[in-house]
Amino acid sequence: MQPTISIPKHWGYPRFALDQRTQQGIILGLQYYPNGTELAEQFGGGWCYALMPHKNSDELFHFQESQIQPLSPQELFTQITAEIEFYQRQTSILQQQLAAMDGGSTNG
């Protein structure tokens, strides 16, 4: 069963999704500050997102929904293609290491 998140109807739906890639980074979390609350006065009402600038970052930044820019389809394609190529190279290296192990164990 898929996990479900219920959002009260009077909140409005978030514009961005968890794990979505944006100009500012990858969305790791989101929270809502209801209008008329102290948190909304302090941080701004509506959705706030926690983003990691890139996959290997140890930093986390917070943005309001209006500060986030989505990637264009071409930018998204480029990012995903680069990540696939990276993992294909890593897989090839690991396969070579396994082949070297097999070759070394049969000779000994």
Domain ranges in the chain?
14-69, 72-108
Task: Tell me the pLDDT of the chain averaged across its residues.
Answer: 91
Are the C-beta atoms of 67 and 24 separated by less than 8 Å? Answer: yes
Closest to 71 (Cα-Cα) out of 26, 29, 9 = 26
What residues pair up with 50 in beta bridges, in sequence order?
Answer: 29, 62
Are the C-beta atoms of 61 and 53 separated by less than 8 Å? Answer: yes
Q: pLDDT for 10-46, tens place per residue? A: 898 999 999 999 999 999 999 999 989 999 999 889 9
Global pTM?
0.77
